[in-house]
C-alpha cells in the first residue's frame, strides 16, 4: 500500500550537495573520500554551547588496511566528547571514517589520527577515543587517546566494550 504524505508537513527536496548551512555533504549524494586526508570533516554550531554534556559516536564496524600485509583490519571505535562551540556533522564523520577502508595504517595511527582530526576541527572541551581492534597475529590491540580534562560534574560513562576474550 502506498503511503500518502502528511498534508500538514511541508515536503522539500534536498538542494543538491549544499544546504542552507553551507554543508557540502548533507542532503545529497556524497562519495566515500579516497583517503582520510581528502575527507571533509564538517561541523555545525552547538545549540547548547553553555552546557557541558557528553556526545558519543559508536562505530562497531570500522575497517582499515594493514600497511604491511594489505589485509583488512577491523575495530570497534568509540568517540566521546564534550562540545564547545561546535558539533561534528554526523554524515561527514561517517564519510571520514569510511575513508579509512582503503587506507594503510597501523591501529595506533588510525585511532590517534581520528582523535586529533576531531579535536582540531571541533575544539571540544574534552575528547577521548577508544579503538578496540580485533586480533592481528593473535594479539588484540586496544588504543586510547584523549585531549583535555573532563569538566567537573560531567558523567562520561565507561565505553562499554568488553576486553577481547577469544573463545574464552
Rounded to whole angstroms, the Cα distance separating 11 from 156 reads 39
Instruction: Return the active site residues.
Output: 66, 73
Angle at 104 between CA 102 and CA 110, to 5 degrees: 100
Q: What distance in Å separates the CA atoms of residue 136 and residue 66, rounded to the nearest whole number? A: 9
Strands (E), 110-153: 126-133, 142-148
Amino acid at each position: 500500500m502506498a503511503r500518502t504524505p502528511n498534508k500538514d508537513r511541508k515536503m522539500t527536496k534536498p538542494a543538491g550537495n549544499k544546504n542552507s548551512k553551507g554543508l557540502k555533504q548533507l542532503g545529497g549524494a556524497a562519495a566515500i573520500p579516497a583517503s582520510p586526508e581528502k575527507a571533509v570533516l564538517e561541523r555545525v554550531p552547538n545549540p547548547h554551547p553553555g552546557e557541558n554534556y557528553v556526545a558519543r559516536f559508536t562505530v562497531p564496524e570500522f575497517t582499515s588496511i594493514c600497511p604491511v600485509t594489505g589485509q583488512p583490519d577491523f575495530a570497534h571505535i568509540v568517540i566521546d566528547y564534550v562540545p564547545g562551540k561546535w558539533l561534528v556533522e554526523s554524515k561527514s564523520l561517517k564519510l571520514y571514517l569510511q575513508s579509512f577502508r582503503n587506507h594503510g595504517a597501523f591501529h595506533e595511527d588510525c585511532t590517534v589520527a581520528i582523535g586529533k582530526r576531531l579535536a582540531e576541527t571541533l575544539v571540544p572541551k574534552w575528547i577521548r577515543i577508544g579503538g578496540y581492534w580485533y586480533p592481528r597475529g593473535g594479539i588484540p590491540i586496544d588504543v586510547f587517546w584523549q585531549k583535555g580534562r573532563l569538566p567537573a560534574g560531567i558523567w562520561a560513562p565507561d565505553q562499554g566494550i568488553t576486553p577481547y576474550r577469544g573463545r574464552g
